[in-house]
Structures are given as C-alpha cells and as structure tokens.
C-alpha cells in the first residue's frame, strides 16, 4: 500500500499526529525494527516504539527471566521466573497488547560474532542493548555498509551511568529538523536598498535565525517579491535583510513573510571511528568534560568484560583498580588522549552490575525518539553520543559499607547495587502523593513499582488521584491502559495495573480534583503525612495551587510536564530551593476582541471566532435560557411582570430566542442558511459600509492595510462542500439544542436542497453601529437594551403565548458541551466550516479539520518518548529527595528530543527577603502565634512584635483585609477578638494570615512578611 494512502486512526493517534505529522506517521507505519536485549532498557524502548506505531518490531533475547528482572523489567512477572521463560517470550504478549496496529514477534536465536547478519537486511533500524562492544562494532559495520544504510542505535545502562550511540549512515536527510510550525511574519516596511531591510510589525519580533529561508506573499508595491524565496540575515529582533531590492518598485504596504523549511543532511561516522574521537551531546554545561570521562570509563568497563568474561564485582576495590588501569590504557588509544577521572571509573566499577530503572526510562525515551527519527527522517538526529549519569548521588554512598550494596536475593538487588540498602528501605517506607494519572502519571507509577516505593511492611504508601475517565486517545501514551479500560476511572485502573508490576505496592486511589473545593480531603493534615508530592498535570493553574499547598506545609514537590517532544522537570525542596510560584511565565497573548470580531489576520483568529460562536450559540445561550425559565416558571408570569415595569435580567434575549425557536428540521436548516448570510455576507458588507476600501487614518495611511484585511461577502453556493458543510453541521446542532428530531432522510442532499431553495434570505440593510477598532478594548459584558427592544419583547412574548408556543416544553433547551474527540458529534465540523468560510471572506489561508481541531480544542501535542524520559528524570530526583541530599545534588532539566537537547541546571537557591534590623524570611518560613478564646487583634499584633521583634501594620486573611489602619473603622477592630474577625469553622484549629510592616521611610511601600499561622488555642506540646 502506498504510504500516502494509509489511513491513520485519529482516535488513537491524534495527540501524536500533532507531534510527528502524517507523512512521518505513514513512514513509521511501514517500518520494521529489530531490538536486541529485552532487559530494563530494551523493554522501555520497545514500549515507546510500539505505542508510537511502527509496522513491526522483533524483540530478541537469549536470557532467561530471573528475580533480578522483576526490579528492572515491568513486563516480567513472578510466574515467568518459576516457569523459566525466555525474557523476549515472557514480555511478548504484554508488549503486543500496547498497540493492535504493530506486529511484534520474539526471537531467541543466539546473536554473536559467528552469526550471519544478512537477516538484518529486512529491517530499517537495528537497536542493540546488552550486546558486547565487539559485536556492536561488527553489526554497526554491517548496517553502515548497506544501501541504503540500516540505521544503527546502541544503548546501555550500567549502574549509575548510561550511554546512547547513533549511526544513520554517511548521509541522512532530514526534511524537518525541528517540527516547529513555519513562522509567519507580518511586514510593516521593506527598504529599496542593497541589501533590502524588512521590518516587522511593531511589538512582533520575528524570532528568525540567519541562514533561514522565507517566501513572500501579499506585498503591495514591491510585488515582484510575492512568491519569491530569499535567504535572510538577521539585523535585529524586528528586522532582517533579504538581498538587493534597489531595482524593485517602492514598497507600499502589507505583506507576509513565511518561513520555508529546507532539508538538511547529517553525516555520521561508524562506531569504530567514533570511539576514538567521540562527538558527544553535552547535557550539563557545569560539567562539559563529563561525557568524555564516562566515555573512557565505559570503554574500560567493556574491555574489563572482554578480558575477564564478567563485569566488575559489586563494591569490589580490586576490580575498580583493575578497571582504572584499563582506563589509563584506553585513553592512549583516543585521538585527544583525554584525562581519566578516577572517581567516575571507580563508581562505574562499583555499580556496573546494578541497574537504575529510572535512568533506563530517561535514556530509553531518548533512544526511542532516535528510532522514530531513523525510520521517518523527522527531527534532527543525535550526533552521535549521549551520556546521562547519576554521579550526583555518590558522595553520601562513600561512607556506606560494601555490604549495603550486595544482593539479598529479592527484586531490588539491581537497585541496591547502585544506591545501597538504606536508601532502598527509605524508598520502601516512602509516603508519596501523585497528582494525575495521565501519561506522566502512568510512567511514574511504573517507576515507583520498580523502585519499590510505598512497599514497606509498616510504613509507606502511594496515594494517587485523577478525576478523568480513560479515552481512546490516552492509549497512545498512557501505557497502563488497554482498550477494555475505556471510560473507566484513570486512577483506579492505573492502581490495578501498577500492582501487576509490583504486587507489594500499597496504593490508595481517588478520583477527586486537587483544588480549594477538596481541601477537606487534601487537608494540611493530609499533606503533612506525605514525604513528597509528585505532580503529573497539564495545567499551570493546578501546579500553582499544589505548589502553594506544598510551601504552606513544608513538603518537597517534584513537577514535570511535556509538550510534544519538549519536556521539563523541576525539584522543589523546603528551605533549599525556590518554589514553582517563585517564577512566572509571561501570560499567553490574548487575541484582541476587535481582531476576533472584525479584523482577523490569521487562521488562528477565525478558528477562535468559530469556537466562540459555537460556545455562544450552542452552550452559553441555551444555559442562560434554561436558567431564566427556572427562575420564572411561566411565560404568563414574565409577561405580567415586564408589563408592570419590572426589569428582568436577560429577558429580552430569552424572549427573542423563544420567538425564533425552530420547531422542525426544516426550520433548523432555514436558520442555518440565514446565519450563513449574516456571518459571511452581511458582516462583510457592513464593515465595508463602515470603512470603505479607500478609508484613510488621521496620518493619511490606508485604514485597510496589513494586518487589517478587507472582507468580501461570500455568495452562497449549494454545490460548494464548504458552504453545504456549514449548513448541515449548523442545522444538526440547532436541532440538538432545540430538541428537534431528525432522520437520515432529513440529512440527504435532496431534502436540504429543497428546504434551502425555498428560504427567503433577508436583504442586507446597513446600520450605523460603531465598529470597535481599539485593540485594547475588551468584549462588553452587557449590551444595553433600548425601550423599543423592550416593547418588541412584550409583543413577541404575547404572540408566543397566543400561538401556544410558550408551553413548558418550549421553555427548555439542551446546552451542548464542546467535545473535540468525538468525530460523530459535528462540533469540529461546524467550527472548521465556520472558520474556513470566515477565512475565505478575509482572504486568509484556510486550515484543514485536523489543524482546526488542535487549535479549537487547545490540544497539547504528546508522544510517549518525551513522557517516558521526563518521568525517568523525576524518579531520579525522587531518590535524591528521599536521601536528603544537599542543594547542589538536585538538577532541573529541560529537554527537546526533536533537536535534540537535554539541559540539566542546578535548582534556584531560595531567596531571603530582608525586612529590617536583621530580620528576614524565605518562602519556607512561617511564624506562629498561639492565642486563646478572648485574644484580640491588638493582642495578636503585640504577640508578633514580642516574639519576632517587629510590629505588623497590616493583617490580611486570603483576600479579606482584617486590619489596614487607613481603612475607615479598622482602628476599632483592634478590640475585637480574633474569633469574631476570622469566624473559623468549628473544626478549624488555626488560620494562616499575611502580615506586612511599616517602611523605614514614609512614602515607600509596606514591607512584606512571612505567613503567620495563628492558633485559636494554645496547643499541647
């Protein structure tokens, strides 16, 4: 089957399609991948590429399942060990269930130096884990020599270090290096010069880079630029040069420059050559030499394995010394003869027998994305090595005895070899609250299960919550869920699936949202019982709220998130780091009201307009209609009250809706046709009436110039699929909200043509309404109703009552909640048709249904590779939090697997705020005052002064000002009791107040203070 004719299951892949695009998805769905080694790293890679949707995967392994595997491979169970199954065969059924579109088979035949490698020719990509370096070189040489080359990836995790290598052949062409949408830049000026300088619209930086290519359209004056492509040189954030424009016509106005994606060829060297002169991605710029140190240490480990037929023994100093000698000789074979880092070699030797499952999750996520790049040519490949380590954890481990790291014959032996038994026990006894069981949540639960988090016999508990039900689109990356789980609660299902990985996990699952409304469940007492909170959320608002609860209760928080191939992790530790709320991203730019209503310039504007129309017509208005008739029980009562001069809020709009209510399918189609005329013809005619094409501003410039585009009325054509699509989708939605039944026959072209042919479309009559042109103006809350409108309302309501069209059944509508993922409900059909008709009216490039759905549904693109990588990094930081590490051990991370980059940075040290006279505080400080029943506000102020040496001048509770001296009547409050002022509920023992202090000099702002927790009665110590 041709690649471009393959149909993509959008219900399953929709979030991933927005990351990869259809071309890459179709290439991937035709690719065959070979993966050797289905240990802890191999199973991670297999999971991610099966979820992504390659055509076929062969998993190869010759080893038998052991107890050890239970702590590293989440798809190997106890019965696989008792049945002595091969690892590939044991995991085959479970990984196959991840995606019905992927054919997975197991291979258990030996793969060694004597194997005939010609069987690999059937694969586009070969991935090796747990394979000797000698065999890696042999297979790499074979793959590199093929025409076209077989893309080669090798990856390994040894103890606290990991390695990833890629070779995609001599010349690997990538069509899209970043996956970012091509930028569109609105132009305000182009000079007639050599070089010509292009200037963007004010306050709209172009964000381009020198060397990129742009094509031009809609330029007035210098029109020969239209359709031409130019390489640019950046001059400033708002301008760039494009070559000689001196012979062109003078620029007049308008124009859009659109970025052109150009293919890029990447050159790769074979493994043999790269070993001696490695090209490494630096992940931690504070340690730029680290990749080379680990490179040497890992080569020494490979030589040790070859020399002795085994790995170095756990914690064995003699083996470490031997490996150090090997490292010294290895470095002599490298081109630049770099220094050997003895500590890195020693710790790799001590832990190499072990395995850190979260490190495998992080590297497995990156490696899986490289597989997808290899088979699709989408995104920039890794060149050519990546080393990720956990060397930050070794300092306290130095002091532990070697017995701490030795195996005990349980599922945690691989972990114990890396971090010691004491830290394992702390993980087992951990109480952790995981908020969110989506993609990151599922991955986190898998990591918890492998680490044994919350499995302690006496202590330890994992608490999870998520209010959502499982949808089909979740199955593409939330790997704990299967098709038979659809419409079941995420948290309960995830808990059950996690117990399959580790049955000893203690887990409590809830379906509450974590927000102010659920503070009875997630109270201060609940938070103080937790050792750490982990968030797996997709909302900044929710993150900010949980962060504030963690700060108030002095709990560590680890946050993370992804968007497509991008991801971040952030560690927040009491008294050491800043919190999530300490920094704020700039708010998302809102589209100005006048742009949406009258002057759209981009497809995003028309999509938002259509989305707003959907919300207004099919949700907001029907809800207000129902609310009105729940307040006033009959039309007769309303008529009587407005006749007697009463003003009933919203009554004019409600009566107008009632009088125009369609009562048959024919009337729904007629209404849709009238709306078409109003939205796409009359609106254009009105705007051109208000602002004729030759209108000029006070400075003499044209009103209609970029980014303003003059509209042109759209003439209705029944045979135009776009016009017809609007009528059908709008009529169906009107029928739904007005409770009008319709049949398949009603939807036939014949029926709709017959109805439309008979519709009398109102003629356009220009009005003198003022059109808003101020970009800072907001949408008005209420549009005033004239006395004529009120008289008209009385007449319309009387008419409805007399016609028996204001009965109880007429006073109800059925509001529609927007649902983007149900393709049968017509919601996206309506928005796509409405948006593209408006785009046509304004001569804007239309968008297909797929793009419209992403923008209208505010869909966050997502892919399993980034999710797995991010959650692995979170779990690595969790180990540090549990170990009580110092601030310099913690690392935040930003990654973008598309480019690829992975940047680790130290956490931001908590800031100390000075009040005065040496008194200071941080966000983690909280003062306390203990009161009693008759404690007054004055007593509270005095208590703060006596205990902390500074007198508050203002006391605030949340948004309620308890005491502000300049406010009228507030001085009298000093005598009131705290009980009376705060009015606590019966079970409330304390209240958190905010205090501030007088500035040192008059005229300055009050000085802020820390929160003060006021206890209503003295607590027993």
Q: Could you list the active site residues?
A: 594
Whole-angstrom Cα distance, residue 772 to residue 621?
A: 23
Whether the bond between 148 and the residue before it is cis, its omega within 30 degrees of 0, is yes
Residues contacting residue 80 through CB under 8 Å, at least 6 positions apart: 65, 69, 90
Element (H, E) at 277: none
Helix, strand or coil, per DSSP, at residue 499: helix
DSSP for 337-352? -PPP-HHHHHHHHHHT
Element (H, E) at 537: none
| DSSP structural state of residue 180 | P
**Within a 10 A sphere around the Cβ of 440, how many other Cβ atoms?**
30
β pairing state of 125-128 and 32-36:
parallel
Q: How far, in Å, are 411, 413, 454, 468, 502 from residue 72 at the CA level?
A: 8, 10, 17, 29, 11
Helix, strand or coil, per DSSP, at residue 484: helix
Q: What residue ranges in 438-549 does DSSP mark as E strands?
A: 461-465, 507-510, 532-535
Alpha-helix residue ranges (DSSP H) falling in 384-489: 394-397, 413-419, 421-428, 439-451
Q: Can you read off the two tokens belonging to residue 565?
A: 């191939």
Closest CA to 233 of 203, 196, 261: 196
Q: Can you read off the two tokens belonging to residue 979?
A: 């009980």
Q: Can you read off the two tokens belonging to residue 408?
A: 């005990």
| DSSP structural state of residue 239 | E
Burial grade of 352 (CB within 10 A; 0-12, 13-18, 19 or more): buried
Percent helix, strand and coil across the chain, each rounded to 5? 40, 20, 40
β pairing state of 431-435 and 532-535:
parallel
Whole-angstrom Cα distance, residue 898 to residue 372?
A: 10
Q: Can you read off the two tokens belonging to residue 489?
A: 């609660």
Q: In this structure, which long-range contacts are made by residues 116-123, counting pairs with CB atoms below 8 Å and at least 24 apart in sequence? A: 117/142, 120/34, 120/150, 121/146, 121/150, 122/32, 123/32, 123/33, 123/34, 123/58, 123/150
Q: How far, in Å, are 57, 92, 171 from residue 60 at the CA level?
A: 10, 10, 28
Q: Can you read off the two tokens belonging to residue 896?
A: 């973008």
Alpha-helix residue ranges (DSSP H) falling in 510-602: 524-529, 540-552, 593-597
Euclidean distance between the first and final Cα of the chain, in Å?
76
Residues contacting residue 797 through CB under 8 Å, at least 6 positions apart: 635, 638, 639, 642, 655, 658, 659, 806
Helical packing angle, 603-615 and 827-841, nearest 10°: 130
């Amino acid at each position: 089957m041709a690649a471009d004719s393959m149909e993509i299951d959008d219900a399953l892949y929709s979030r991933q399609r927005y990351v990869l695009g259809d071309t890459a998805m179709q290439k991937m769905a035709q690719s065959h991948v070979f993966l050797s080694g289905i240990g802890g790293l191999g199973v991670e890679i297999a999971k991610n590429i099966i979820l992504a949707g390659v055509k076929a995967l062969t998993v190869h392994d010759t080893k038998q399942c052991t107890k050890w595997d239970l702590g590293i491979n989440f798809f190997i169970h106890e019965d696989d060990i008792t049945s002595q199954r091969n690892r590939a065969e044991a995991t085959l059924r479970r990984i196959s269930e991840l995606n019905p579109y992927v054919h997975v088979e197991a291979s258990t035949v030996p793969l060694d130096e004597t194997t005939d490698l010609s069987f690999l020719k059937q694969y586009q990509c070969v991935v090796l884990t747990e394979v000797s370096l000698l065999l890696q070189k042999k297979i790499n040489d074979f793959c590199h020599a093929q025409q076209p080359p077989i893309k080669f990836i090798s990856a390994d995790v040894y103890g606290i270090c990991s390695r990833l290598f890629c070779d995609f052949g001599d010349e690997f062409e990538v069509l899209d290096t970043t996956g970012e949408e091509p930028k569109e830049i609105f132009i305000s000026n182009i000079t007639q010069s050599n070089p010509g300088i292009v200037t963007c619209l004010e306050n709209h930086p172009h964000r381009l880079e020198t060397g990129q290519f742009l094509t031009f359209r809609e330029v007035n004056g210098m029109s020969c630029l239209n359709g031409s492509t130019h390489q640019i040189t950046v001059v400033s954030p708002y301008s760039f040069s494009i070559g000689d424009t001196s012979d062109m016509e003078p620029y007049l106005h308008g124009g859009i420059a659109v970025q052109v994606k150009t293919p890029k060829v990447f050159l790769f060297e074979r493994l043999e050559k790269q070993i001696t002169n490695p090209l490494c991605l630096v992940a931690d710029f504070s340690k730029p030499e680290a990749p080379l140190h680990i490179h040497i240490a890992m080569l020494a480990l490979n030589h040790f394995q070859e020399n002795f037929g085994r790995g170095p023994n756990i914690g064995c100093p003699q083996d470490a010394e031997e490996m150090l000698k090997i490292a010294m000789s290895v470095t002599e074979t490298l081109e630049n003869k770099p220094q050997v880092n003895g500590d890195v070699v020693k710790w790799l030797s001590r832990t190499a027998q072990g395995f850190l499952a979260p490190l495998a999750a992080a590297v497995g996520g990156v490696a899986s994305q490289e597989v997808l790049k290899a088979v699709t040519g989408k995104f920039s490949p890794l060149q050519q090595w990546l080393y990720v380590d956990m060397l930050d954890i070794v300092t306290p481990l130095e002091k532990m005895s070697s017995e701490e790291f030795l195996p005990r014959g349980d599922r945690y032996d691989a972990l114990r070899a890396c971090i010691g038994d004491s830290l394992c026990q702390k993980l087992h006894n951990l109480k952790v609250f995981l908020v969110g069981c989506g993609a990151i949540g599922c991955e986190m639960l898998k990591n918890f299960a492998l680490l044994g988090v919350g499995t302690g016999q006496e202590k330890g508990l994992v608490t999870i919550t998520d209010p959502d039900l499982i949808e089909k689109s979740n199955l593409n990356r939330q790997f704990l869920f299967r098709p038979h789980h659809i419409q079941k609660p995420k948290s309960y299902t995830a808990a059950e699936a996690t117990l399959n990985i580790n049955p000893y996990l203690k887990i409590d699952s809830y379906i509450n949202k974590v927000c102010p409304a659920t503070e009875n469940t997630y109270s201060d007492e609940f938070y103080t019982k937790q050792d750490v909170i982990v968030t797996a959320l997709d909302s900044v608002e929710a993150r900010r709220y949980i962060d504030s609860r963690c700060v108030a209760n002095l709990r560590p928080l680890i946050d993370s998130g992804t968007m497509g191939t991008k991801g971040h992790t952030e560690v927040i530790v009491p008294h050491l780091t800043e919190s999530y709320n300490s920094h704020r991203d700039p708010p998302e730019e809102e589209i100005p009201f006048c742009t949406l209503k009258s002057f759209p310039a981009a497809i995003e504007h028309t999509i938002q307009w259509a989305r707003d129309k959907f919300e207004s017509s099919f949700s907001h208005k029907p809800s207000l209609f129902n609310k009105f008739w729940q307040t006033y029980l009959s039309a007769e009562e309303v008529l009587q009250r407005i006749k007697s001069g009463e003003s009933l809020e919203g009554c004019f709009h409600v009566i107008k809706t009632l009088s125009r209510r369609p009562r048959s399918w024919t009337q729904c189609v007629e209404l849709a046709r009238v709306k078409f005329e109003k939205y796409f013809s009359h609106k254009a005619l009105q705007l051109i009436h208000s602002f004729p094409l030759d209108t000029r501003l006070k400075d003499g410039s044209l009103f209609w110039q970029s980014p303003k585009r003059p509209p042109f009325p759209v003439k209705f054509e029944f045979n135009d699929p776009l016009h017809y699509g609007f009528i059908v989708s709008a009529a169906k939605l009107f029928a739904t909200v007005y409770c009008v039944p319709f049949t398949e026959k009603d939807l036939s072209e014949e029926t709709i043509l017959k109805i439309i042919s008979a519709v009398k479309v109102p003629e356009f009559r220009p009005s003198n309404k003022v059109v808003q042109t101020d970009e800072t103006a907001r949408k008005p809350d209420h549009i005033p109703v004239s006395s004529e409108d009120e008289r008209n309302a009385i007449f319309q309501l009387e008419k409805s009552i007399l016609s028996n069209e204001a009965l109880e059944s007429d006073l109800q509508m059925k509001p529609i909640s927007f649902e983007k993922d149900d393709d049968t409900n017509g919601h996206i059909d309506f928005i796509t048709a409405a948006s593209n008709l408006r785009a046509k009216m304004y001569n804007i490039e239309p968008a297909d249904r797929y793009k419209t759905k992403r923008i209208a549904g505010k869909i966050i693109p997502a892919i399993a590779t980034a999710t797995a990588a991010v959650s692995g990094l979170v779990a690595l930081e969790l180990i540090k939090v549990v170990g009580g590490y110092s601030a310099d051990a913690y690392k935040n991370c930003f990654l973008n697997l598309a480019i690829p980059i992975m940047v680790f940075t130290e956490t931001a040290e908590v800031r100390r705020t000075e009040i005065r006279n040496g008194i200071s505080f941080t966000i983690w400080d909280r003062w306390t005052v203990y009161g009693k029943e008759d404690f007054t506000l004055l007593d509270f102020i005095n208590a703060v002064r006596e205990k902390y040496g500074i007198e508050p001048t203002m006391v605030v509770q949340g948004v309620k000002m308890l005491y502000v001296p300049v406010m009228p009547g507030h001085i009298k409050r000093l005598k009131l009791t705290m009980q009376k002022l705060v009015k606590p509920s019966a079970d409330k023992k304390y209240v958190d107040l905010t205090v501030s202090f007088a500035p040192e000099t008059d005229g300055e702002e009050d000085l802020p203070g820390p929160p003060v927790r006021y206890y209503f009665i003295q607590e027993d110590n």
